């Protein structure tokens, strides 16, 4: 039976689309079913991509939690993350893929998934330890303009509490080109991401299968 993959998004969803297309290609290039999509942004175009593909989705709003806890943003995030874990586990996924998911997951979200044996991976548009966090492509571009770097890259990595510090699954280096616009660099990076998000998801599912065999 195909593995069950749940995808977390916050925006355009082009990497979600790559996963959907790979899982539905004939013959499929990803032996998985994209079972559900969760976005933390209501306007995320990825929600429309899910709807167009007939995939169920949830908009999980941090704003609602902040309104309920106006004087304690930390408590709001904890409650949000606790409910996020419940939303994810209710879909009984084998794997969670962060594909442009722009919310730092606290242990309140990560621990229930770990206890349930659900792996979580993330796509990040930088090399390990190079530009952790948000806006990595822009930061790499600016560093290149300052002569500080000559290459950037992308990675697919396991998600742990420390942001972008989880063990890499795939790392692809991308040479930077003098005179290239930020937009052209972004387009080159996204084209590589759309291939590697599928490969990284496949590898994470294979890893999970091996781990389940050895622990059986
Ligand atoms: N615990 C972890 N959570 C997440 C990881 C991770 O490795 N460990 N990866 C990120 C994805 N990501 C980079 O790859 C990333 C996304 C967002 C941020 C960030 O600063 N988010 C802010 C809000 C920013 C916004 O809303 O625009 C925040 O959460 O306060 C850093 C890194 C996914 N989560
Ligand atoms: N720190 C995480 C991060 O920056 N993720 C990046 O968000 C974009 C999502 O694009 P998409 O919504 O079109 O898939 C991708 O470039 C991904 O690497």
Query: Could you tell me the CATH number of the domain that includes residue 125?
Result: 3.40.50.170
Strand order in the sheet with 95-98: 56-59, 32-39, 3-9, 95-98, 119-124, 151-158, 168-175
How many distinct structural domains can be found in the chain? 1
pLDDT tens digits, residue range 4-55?
A: 999 999 999 999 999 999 999 998 899 999 999 999 999 999 999 999 999 9
pLDDT value at residue 1:
81
Q: How far apart are the C-alpha atoms of 199 and 190, rounded to whole Å?
A: 14
Pocket of ligand 1 (CB under 6 A): 98, 101-105, 122, 124, 133-134, 159, 161, 163-164, 166
Residue 194 has pLDDT above 90, yes or no: yes
Arithmetic mean of pLDDT over the chain: 96
Q: Which domain holds residue 9?
A: 3-215
Q: What spacing in Å lies between the alpha carbon of 43 and ligand 1's midpoint?
A: 18
210: confidence class by pLDDT, cuts 50, 70, 90: confident
Owner of token pair 């994470």: 204
Write the DSSP assignment of the chain as a string of letters: -PEEEEEEESS--HHHHHHHHHHHSSS-SS-EEEEEEEES-TT-HHHHHHHHTT-EEEE--HHHHHHHSTT-HHHHHHHHHHHHHHHHHTT--SEEEESS--SPPPHHHHHHHHHTT-EEEEEESS-TTTS-SS-HHHHHHHHHHTTS-SEEEEEEEE--SSTT-SPEEEEEEEE--TT--HHHHHHHHHHHHHHHHHHHHHHHHHHHHHHHHHH-
pTM for this predicted structure: 0.97
pLDDT value at residue 215:
73
Is 124 among the residues known to form the active site? Answer: yes
Instruction: Name the residue with the closest Cα to ligand 2, atom 15.
Output: 100
Residue 212 has pLDDT above 90, yes or no: no
pLDDT tens digits, residue range 118-150?
A: 999 999 999 999 999 999 999 999 999 999 999
């Amino acid at each position: 039976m195909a593995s069950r993959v749940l995808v977390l998004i916050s925006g355009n969803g082009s990497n979600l689309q790559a996963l959907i297309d790979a899982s539905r290609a004939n013959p499929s290039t990803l032996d998985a079913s994209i079972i559900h999509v969760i976005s933390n942004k209501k306007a995320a175009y990825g929600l429309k991509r899910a709807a167009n593909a007939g995939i169920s989705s949830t908009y999980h709003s941090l704003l609602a939690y902040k309104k309920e806890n106006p004087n304690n943003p930390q408590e709001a995030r904890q409650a949000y993350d606790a409910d996020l874990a419940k939303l994810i586990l209710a879909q009984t996924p084998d794997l969670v893929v962060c594909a442009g998911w722009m919310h730092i997951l606290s242990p309140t979200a990560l621990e229930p998934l770990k206890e349930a044996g659900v792996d979580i991976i993330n796509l990040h548009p930088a090399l390990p330890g190079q530009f952790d966090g948000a806006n990595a492509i822009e930061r790499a571009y600016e560093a290149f303009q300052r002569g500080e770097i000559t290459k950037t890259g992308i990675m697919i990595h396991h998600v742990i509490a420390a942001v972008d510090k989880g063990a890499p699954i795939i790392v692809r280096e991308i040479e930077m080109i003098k005179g290239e616009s930020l937009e052209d660099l972004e387009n080159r990076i996204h084209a590589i991401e759309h291939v590697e998000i599928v490969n990284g998801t496949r590898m994470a599912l294979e890893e999970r299968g091996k781990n389940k065999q050895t622990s059986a």
